[in-house]
Amino acid sequence: MSKLKIQGPTKLVGEITVAGSKNAILPIMAACLLTEEPVTLRNVPGLSDVALMADILRGFGAEVIEEEHVLKIHAKELRASDIPLEQTSKMRASILILGGAIGRLDRVNIAHPGGDLIGARPIDTHIKVFESLGLSVETDKAGILLSGKPQAGLVNLGELSVTATENAIMAAVLAKGTSRIRVAATEPHVVDLCNFLNHLGAKISGVGSNNLVIEGVANLRGGDYSVIADQLEAGTLAIAAAASQGHSIIHDFIAEHHDSLLAKFDEMNVNYQMTDAKTIVIKPSDKLVATKVKSQPYPNFPSDLQAPMSVLMTQAEGESEIFESLYEGRMNYIYELQRMGANVSLRDTHTALINGPSQLRGAELISFDIRAGATILIAALIAEGETTIDRIEHIERGYEHFADRLRSLGAKMEQID
């Protein structure tokens, strides 16, 4: 395992471009199994999760060629494949293979998906999706077996689950007849999956809303498609720039994806300007003020940004509050901030109180998951002295070459074994 050694404090100064969306590319890769024709994907982030998904697709017989920020996928002939625990345990998104493969195979078997340890993430909604589309689902300690051919139907998700929405979309596009998905998630990466499938000839309407209508088609064609910029990396970079009191220009920061974040920036007195629909400039702020954040499904404040936001709150005057409404295990990073001298505490497993401003100090820290890793990395950038972060593989799962790209903005850090 590798570590990062960071010397702070650092003001992030310069220009940076947001990478392609991790949460868009993974379901889009799974959806490539729905067509026999070749697909070229562009703006692909260089992440370990992408490489893992490529290996899973190869297990189904797909040809996958990986180039810099480009993937060429050709799933001409599929074969049934049992995805082992050694692959699924590393990535929650492996569950998306079920929706992607079942349209052309009558049997898909995967071990239970893993991923970040951020709380209970049951698969009940996924089971409901597949059963609503006429499929048989068997689960045991070993994994999930999906069998049958998708039949058009009404899918009422009952909760705004991103991956269950994506599985429902993929399973329905080749089903004969009209399927309706109610309570669909509307995150930008869900919209991007729909746009990708429509680009290949699917007939999905209501894209971007909670109610999707899918007219099944006999087959999908190939195509060339560019993945959207990563909403969560964009938000993380903006928060890091604001916390560091630097002068940063962030390109491919898609403003319409960040209404809730920018509203909080306004409340906190962050000095920023949108120079166009995809470029944000962040300058030093005179005085940051406390705020409250409650994570909720899109278009509300994202759960994946509440942890990085806590670092900005440590630099704001007054008491801030974070309420994590989705995952009860997502507050572990608070203990790492305490070790750095932040005046933070947990009221319960969902609520953190942050009093500022605090001068953070370097410490030896551990990255517990993707977003917690990014959080303590931002904290290390503004802390006095040297910080060492262990288990940085978590950060590398969600942020492309993050250390190298932050160094281009003046960050002083090095990777050590």
Question: 2-19, pLDDT tens digit by residue?
Answer: 899 999 999 999 999 999
Which residues, in sequence order, are CB contacts of 222 under 8 Å at separation 6+?
A: 35, 37, 38, 39, 74, 200
Same domain for 278 and 348, yes or no, is yes
Most confident of 18-32, 91-105, 126-140, 393-407: 18-32
Q: How far apart are CA 399 and CA 19, in angstroms?
A: 8
Same domain for 7 and 32, yes or no, is no
Split into its structural domains, the chain has a count of 2
Per-residue pLDDT tens over the stretch 24-49: 999 999 999 999 999 999 999 999 89
Same domain for 333 and 207, yes or no, is no
pLDDT at residue 85, as a whole number: 67
Q: pLDDT tier at 118 (50, 70, 90 boundaries)?
A: very low
Same domain for 199 and 253, yes or no, is no
pLDDT at residue 114, as a whole number: 63
Per-residue pLDDT tens over the stretch 237-285: 999 999 999 999 999 999 999 999 999 999 999 999 999 999 999 999 9
- Percentage of the chain beyond pLDDT 90 is 79
Please give the helix or strand (H or E) that residue 111 lies within, else none.
strand 107-111
Paired tokens of 112: 């239970």
Same domain for 256 and 384, yes or no, is yes
Q: Domain with 386 in it: what CATH number?
A: 3.65.10.10
Residue 67: phi and psi, rounded to 5, are -120, 175
Which of these three, 201, 226, 251, is where a domain ends? 226
Range of the domain at 84: 22-226
Q: Is the separation of the CB atoms in 301 and 307 below 8 Å?
A: no
> Residue 150: is the preceding peptide bond cis (ω within 30°)?
no
Q: How far apart are CA 324 and CA 304, in angstroms?
A: 10
Check pLDDT > 80 for residue 91: no
Same domain for 291 and 270, yes or no, is yes
* Exposure on the CB side of residue 387, measured as CA atoms within 13 A: 31
Which of these three, 173, 201, 226, is where a domain ends? 226
pLDDT at residue 13, as a whole number: 98
Same domain for 221 and 233, yes or no, is no
pLDDT at residue 349, as a whole number: 86
Average pLDDT, the chain: 93
Same domain for 32 and 139, yes or no, is yes
Same domain for 208 and 71, yes or no, is yes
* Exposure on the CB side of residue 26, measured as CA atoms within 13 A: 25
Give the mean pLDDT of 197-222. Answer: 98
Same domain for 43 and 90, yes or no, is yes
Same domain for 220 and 275, yes or no, is no
Same domain for 37 and 91, yes or no, is yes
Give the mean pLDDT of 373-401. Answer: 92
> Residue 357: is the preceding peptide bond cis (ω within 30°)?
yes
Which of these three, 210, 226, 242, is where a domain ends? 226
Whole-model pTM: value is 0.94
Q: Which of 341, 348, 349 is CA-nearest to residue 380?
A: 341
pLDDT at residue 355, as a whole number: 97
Side chain identity at residue 238, one-letter code? A
3-state DSSP call for residue 229? Answer: strand
Report which of residues 309 and 90 the model is more confident about: 309
Paired tokens of 97: 């293979």
